[in-house]
Amino acid sequence: MTPPSDPGSLPPLRVAVLGCGTVGGEVVRLLLAQADDFTARIGRPLELVGIAVRRAGKERPGIDPALFTTDAQTLVSRTDIDLVIEVIGGIEPARTLILTALASGASVVTANKALLAEDGATLYDAAERAGADLYYEAAVAGAIPIVRPLRESLVGDEVTAVIGILNGTTNFILDKMDTEGAGFAEALADAQELGYAEADPTADVEGFDAAAKAAILSSLAFHSRVGIGDVHREGITEVTAADIASAREMGCVVKLLAICQLSDGGRPDGTGPGRTVSVRVHPAMIPRSHPLAGVGGAYNAVFVESRFAGRLMFYGPGAGGSPTASAVLGDLVTVARNRVRGASGPGESSYAQRVVTGIGDVVTRYHLSLAVADVAGVLATIAHCFAEHGVSIQTVRQQGREGDAQLVIVTHRATDAALSATVDALRRLDVVSEVTSVMRVEGE
Ligand SMILES: NC(=O)C1=CN([C@@H]2O[C@H](COP(=O)(O)OP(=O)(O)OC[C@H]3O[C@@H](n4cnc5c(N)ncnc54)[C@H](O)[C@@H]3O)[C@@H](O)[C@H]2O)C=CC1
Ligand SMILES: N[C@@H](CC=O)C(=O)O
Ligand code: NA
């Protein structure tokens, strides 16, 4: 009988890391700390051969300074590297570096949702051509396994909706505003300090980050190519303390939601031809009893609805160095195992080519605050405006102020197009001095 070979004595798989910031720093630290376990799990050792950084002189304790280079392009052009981890972020130079790595024969692990949502097709095609892996679990919802469940576990089912909280920074901010009465700027500064925010936090607070993740999840869930430009996006910069207080009075909480839905095909079981997809990211009020309402801090949660499995919920840390590094390293071990077997994992599946529809047809409920003149007949004028546009009012609450009043209106379900036309018409009414806020109400 041949004795089993010691995996540690086999030739190593060579690894390069691009970027050594919040995520990259943790990836390198945990990769080195778990070297022996990774060797056993993969069946061959990993050898870290280079770390591309922007500034070489920076003190990085525990890492051999000889590994650092500021020339990422030369590093990824090496043909002796098996695995490249891209954690620089942004579009360029990340795209060129990933394409060079794939063309040089490496498999790639990335956390870069912005790039995947902007130009994933170019990367997937390049990986396919090279026969290499492109894995990106960390790109959506940090540590939560959601990419692989959609790409592999649920590939025998039909996913009809993916709904969730996909951005840790904005969830952290909204949670602090709700539970501690914190101000927006103060909560954002804390999120940056804790390593949750993107290099440019505009990506978080304006909803671009969640929209990128929604595009990636929709592409996987609906076997189509959905890009960031297909996603209706609204951020949280216009959510006020008054909105949060108003939500509380209704027994609700404000969350930045991502909602990706497959339309009904018209047949009794929901299937049928011409099914389309809608993808949107916006703040919404949800009842405090809803499972997503209890998702606090930088945690994320994703509901998946599918035809045969029913409803599934994924929950966990959505941002931060170590949680994100956990997802990156899970991918690293997986693509390394594929290399050892001379195989590659599943590529892109976009055969369904679903059409993505605009926000106008989306149906939901709305919460509106209006500053109105406190005069006889104002309620009738406003109710008439809603009725004219086919939007039915569920509740009206009036808070008097000197000379004018604040009306809080919750509608029944209406299309976004009908609601937008109503708001435009309300703004033109003499009795309405301001439409103070408009927010969707979801989850009922
Ligand atoms: N921080 C988080 O919680 C999460 C981050 N991500 C993603 O992970 C990636 C990295 O994010 P962070 O580590 O938070 O960002 P970061 O800004 O902390 O780190 C990026 C690092 O890349 C370096 N860099 C920039 N240009 C470079 C170049 N040309 N060559 C070499 N290094 C370069 C920067 O100096 C910085 O140290 C991004 O794609 C981000 O969207 C994904 C999930 C969670
Ligand atoms: N900035 C992102 C980081 C993880 O993707 C977030 O806040 O969720
Ligand atoms: Na993930």
* Residue 429, phi then psi, degrees to nearest 5: -75, 140
Domain containing 55: what range?
A: 7-140+322-341
Mean pLDDT rounded to a whole number for the chain: 96
Angle 213-20-191 (CA atoms, 0-180°, nearest 5)?
55
Is residue 349 in a domain? Answer: no
Is residue 327 in a domain? Answer: yes
Q: Which DSSP helix (H) or strand (E) runs through 233?
A: strand 232-233
Picking from 292, 272, 276, the residue whose alpha carbon sits closest to that of residue 284 is 292
**For residue 420, how far is the Cα from the chain centroid?**
26
Measured CA to CA, the distance from residue 316 to residue 77 in angstroms comes to: 36
Instruction: Fill in the DSSP letter of residue 21.
Output: S
In this structure, the answer to whether residues 310 and 193 fall within a common structural domain is: yes
Is residue 350 in a domain? Answer: no
Is residue 283 in a domain? Answer: yes
Ligand nearest to the CA of 113: 1
Q: Tell me whether residue 19 is annotated as binding.
A: yes
Residue recorded with tokens 């991918």 = 331
Tell me if 209 sits within 8 A of 167, measured CB to CB.
yes
Q: Residue-wise over 398-422: b if at least 16 C-beta within 10 A, else e?
A: eeeeeebbbbbbbbeebbbbbbbbb
Residue recorded with tokens 């919802």 = 141
Average pLDDT over residues 347-369: 96
- Other residues' Cβ atoms within 10 Å of the Cβ of residue 152: 12
| Residues across the chain | 444
Average pLDDT over residues 337-345: 97
Q: Tell me whether residue 255 is annotated as binding.
A: no
What pLDDT, in 10s, does the model give residues 434-443?
999 999 999 9
> Helix (H, G, I), strand (E, B), or coil: what is residue 37?
helix
Q: What is the pLDDT of residue 1?
A: 58
Which CATH number is 389's domain given? 3.30.70.260
Cα(108) to ligand 1 centroid in Å equals: 15
Is residue 352 in a domain? Answer: no
What pLDDT, in 10s, does the model give residues 127-139?
999 999 999 999 9
What pLDDT, in 10s, does the model give residues 86-97?
999 999 999 999
Residue nearest ligand 2's atom 4 by CA: 319
In this structure, the answer to whether residues 229 and 159 fall within a common structural domain is: yes
Give the range among 52-66, 68-82, 158-172, 187-201 with minimum mean pLDDT.
52-66
Measured CA to CA, the distance from residue 248 to residue 396 in angstroms comes to: 16
| Enzyme catalytic residues | 213
Beta bridge partners of 256: 283
Burial class (CB in 10 A: 0-12, 13-18, 19+), 66: exposed
User: Which positions ≥6 away from 204 have C-beta within 8 Å?
Assistant: 167, 169, 170, 191, 196, 197, 198, 210
In this structure, the answer to whether residues 122 and 169 fall within a common structural domain is: no
Tell me if 312 sits within 8 A of 306, measured CB to CB.
yes
Q: What is the pLDDT of residue 402?
A: 65
Q: What is the pLDDT of residue 3?
A: 61
In this structure, the answer to whether residues 304 and 380 fall within a common structural domain is: no
* Residue 226, phi then psi, degrees to nearest 5: -115, 125
Categorize the per-residue pLDDT at 2 as very low, low, confident or very high, splitting at 50, 70 and 90: low
- Our count of domains for the chain comes to 3
Report percent pLDDT > 70 for the chain: 98
In this structure, the answer to whether residues 161 and 261 fall within a common structural domain is: yes
What pLDDT, in 10s, does the model give residues 26-54?
999 999 999 999 999 999 999 999 999 99
- Other residues' Cβ atoms within 10 Å of the Cβ of residue 185: 9
Cα(50) to ligand 2 centroid in Å equals: 26
Q: Which of the listed residues 87, 112, 137, 169 should we mutate to test ligand 2's pocket, taking the one with most ligand atoms within 8 A of CB?
A: 169
Q: Tell me whether residue 403 is annotated as binding.
A: no
Q: What is the pLDDT of residue 371?
A: 95
Cα(329) to ligand 1 centroid in Å equals: 15
